[in-house]
Amino acid sequence: MPSSKTPSSASTPELIWLRPERTGRGPRPAHSRASIAAAAVALADAEGLSAVSMRRIAAELGAGTMSLYNYVPKKEHLFDLMVDAVTGEYRFPDRPSGDVRADLRELAHQQLAIMRRHPWAATVVVTRPSLGPNGLRFAEYYLAVMDPVPFDSGTKLEVMSLLNGFVCQFAEWERGGLSPGQDREQGQRELVEYMVQAVMTGQYPQLAAALSSGGAPADPDSVFERSLCRVLTAMLSPLDPH
Amino acid sequence: MPSSKTPSSASTPELIWLRPERTGRGPRPAHSRASIAAAAVALADAEGLSAVSMRRIAAELGAGTMSLYNYVPKKEHLFDLMVDAVTGEYRFPDRPSGDVRADLRELAHQQLAIMRRHPWAATVVVTRPSLGPNGLRFAEYYLAVMDPVPFDSGTKLEVMSLLNGFVCQFAEWERGGLSPGQDREQGQRELVEYMVQAVMTGQYPQLAAALSSGGAPADPDSVFERSLCRVLTAMLSPLDPH
DNA sequence: ACGCCTTTACGTACGGCGTACCTAGAAGGG
DNA sequence: CCCTTCTAGGTACGCCGTACGTAAAGGCGT
């Protein structure tokens, strides 16, 4: 008889943040969502996302495999926990500086740093957006930053999504779309070999011109800086009445 | 003794496009990479990406599981084939119209249409960028479109990446980050319930304000249009000397 | 204080996965 | 014509997520 409970989800909710971590009864848990998330993050950092399995993490924690399911109902939720854990790495000042563009730039740089520390994060964030407690803190600070901008809240959140996606995209591109154990060198070499073969068929004159005129390899940081600059300008300018 | 072979990759290359589909010897193959890719695409469309397994596809084609490995050396390569297959759905005019912005808009709309037809595509494209034959055709046409723009080729390709990422990102967002079999309604309801709970704690005043002022749910098409407009402006404007 | 009943810990087991390896047999090239 | 090279496909191994059952722990109502 659910008398005073919120009636929206009858049975156990799918969203992990709606499941209380602990109800107070029974023996003291030997672990916590936080410790499990930390172990998963460490493992993913060290051996790639595909090394993250319930069995591995349980072993890492010295727990039985099935014990984890007392904390994490499904493996997908583990990814949510991991994302929120690394989202906790943002460091916000007490209040925004008032320079919207500078603050957004700073946020983007922090995000890129996080995603370089955790190369799996971009993939997970893009494929499974999830707003844990740390995600909410981020959104809160972001909205404070955007306070001077005369957009309505919906638009501000759209812009947040776009910026977030841009950084993820860049991080993925920088990673080269490689599987964790793969050799970045060889991947590049093979790609070049393939493009050369393709261009030599003569079917791709534009590509041929682009490749032959390709000068410096362009270091990632400056590419990021330039692209971020463009994107920020686009996001902060008033709606284009095209 | 590799006498006249391109010496870059000694053993069999990791890149599937560098492996010839057929060498001419032996019995006639009963299948082809194209037919396998088509089966995989159909299966992913119908039951989601997670339903795509070597066994399922082999069964779908009436082949033995291990026979597939004569065509697709690893499962990851199957994803490359799938992406290239749907990339083949682009329809390019004989030559660009000369209106760069309009042509880029058209490309973005086609891409969004493709990703709505194939909800798994955005995920795969983002996590495993791969330039198959159809990807090369796309790049070729894109470069032709960008011909009037006075950027160097490197920058043009960066912009291509950014636009591509933007559309993927939007498609993922639109999909709601759901697993294939999941109920979109329930996910939204639970998310709202969670945010309401969070806001009621009083820790998130900005979010509270944003949510309470949230008016119309905003239909996806107009959101895409507005965002695309911004992004195109950002990409086509000359470098901001900020 | 006691005992109930929820919760935790964890072993076992099932079905599915990617794929290494092996055996046959088909068909172009010398 | 045979030999070499390819294809088809079966079997098997070691992973995976997780449903289910058992046993013990410990807060809570009485």
Model confidence at A7, in pLDDT bands (50, 70, 90)? very low
Mean pLDDT of all residues belonging to chain B = 89
Q: Any idea which fold B29-73 has?
A: Arc Repressor Mutant, subunit A (1.10.10)
Question: What is the distance between the terminal CA atoms of chain A, rounded to a whole angstrom?
Answer: 56
Model confidence at B5, in pLDDT bands (50, 70, 90)? very low
d(CA B205, CA B186) in angstroms, rounded, equals: 26
Enumerate the residues of chain B whose CB falls inside 8 A of the CB of residue A218.
154
Task: Please report the pLDDT score of residue A179 as a whole number.
Answer: 61
Closest by Cβ to B229, choosing from A130, A154, A242: A242
Task: Please report the pLDDT score of residue A177 as a whole number.
Answer: 62
What is the DSSP-derived secondary structure letter of residue A240? P
Domain A30-86 and domain A94-242, same fold? Reply is no
d(CA B238, CA B201) in angstroms, rounded, equals: 46
What would the mean pLDDT of B10-23 be, rounded to a whole number? 83
Task: Please report the pLDDT score of residue B9 as a whole number.
Answer: 44
* Domain regions of chain A by residue span: 30-86, 94-242
- The answer on pLDDT for A13 being more than 80 is yes
Q: Any idea which fold A30-86 has?
A: Arc Repressor Mutant, subunit A (1.10.10)
Model confidence at A70, in pLDDT bands (50, 70, 90)? very high
Q: Mark yes or no for CB contact B162/A213 under 8 Å.
A: no
The spacing between the Cα labelled CA in B67 and the C1' in C25, in angstroms, equals 14
Task: Please report the pLDDT score of residue A5 as a whole number.
Answer: 38
Task: Please report the pLDDT score of residue B75 as a whole number.
Answer: 96
Q: Mark yes or no for CB contact A177/B210 under 8 Å.
A: no
Cβ contact B175:B119 at 8 Å: yes
Q: Which nucleotides of C are covered by protein (CB under 7 A)?
A: 5-13, 16-22, 25-29
Q: What is the pLDDT of residues A128-182, one digit of tens each?
A: 888 999 999 999 999 999 999 999 898 899 899 999 999 999 999 888 766 666 6
C1'-nearest nucleotide to the CA of B24: C28
pTM for this predicted structure: 0.92
Closest by Cβ to A169, choosing from B143, B165, B230: B165
- The answer on pLDDT for B219 being more than 70 is yes
What would the mean pLDDT of A114-138 be, rounded to a whole number? 95
Enumerate the residues of chain B whose CB falls inside 8 A of the CB of residue A165.
165-166, 169-170, 173
Model confidence at A1, in pLDDT bands (50, 70, 90)? very low
- The more confident residue out of A212 and A34 is A34
Protein residue minimizing CA–C1' distance to C8: A27
B74 alpha carbon, distance to own chain's centre = 20
d(CA B61, CA B65) in angstroms, rounded, equals: 10
Closest by Cβ to A231, choosing from B9, B193, B234: B234
Helix (H) or strand (E) holding A200: helix A184-200
- Token readout for A193 is 């070999």
Which of B101, B149, B158, B195 is most worth mutating to test chain A (most A CB atoms within 10 A of its CB)?
B158
Mean pLDDT of all residues belonging to chain A = 89
Of 1.10.357.10, 1.20.58.340, 3.40.50.300, 1.10.10.1100, the CATH number of A94-242 is: 1.10.357.10
Q: What is the pLDDT of residues B82-101, one digit of tens each?
A: 999 999 999 999 999 999 99
Model confidence at A111, in pLDDT bands (50, 70, 90)? very high
- The answer on pLDDT for B184 being more than 80 is no
Cβ contact A96:A145 at 8 Å: yes
- The answer on pLDDT for B181 being more than 70 is no
Which overall architecture, per CATH, does domain B87-178+223-236 show? Orthogonal Bundle (1.10)
Task: Please report the pLDDT score of residue A181 as a whole number.
Answer: 62
- The more confident residue out of B27 and B106 is B106
Helix then strand then coil, in percent of chain B rounded to 5, is 60, 0, 40
Enumerate the residues of chain A whose CB falls inside 8 A of the CB of residue B15.
187, 190-191, 194
- Chain B residue with the nearest C-alpha to that of A202: B140
- The more confident residue out of B40 and A236 is B40
Q: Mark yes or no for CB contact A234/B231 under 8 Å.
A: yes
Contacts 24+ apart (CB under 8 A), B35-38: B35/B61, B36/B61, B36/B68, B36/B71, B36/B72, B36/B78, B36/B81, B37/B78, B37/B81, B37/B82, B37/B84, B37/B85, B38/B85
What would the mean pLDDT of B61-78 be, rounded to a whole number? 96
Range in A39-53, B7-21, B23-37, B181-195 the model is least confident about: B7-21
Range in B94-108, B151-165, B168-182, B221-235 the model is least confident about: B168-182
- Token readout for A227 is 């692209």
Cβ contact B198:A136 at 8 Å: yes
Cβ contact A152:A201 at 8 Å: no
Q: Mark yes or no for CB contact B190/A9 under 8 Å.
A: yes
Enumerate the residues of chain A whose CB falls inside 8 A of the CB of residue B223.
158
The percentage of residues in chain B with a pLDDT greater than 90, rounded to a whole number, is 68
- Greatest CA separation for chain A: 73
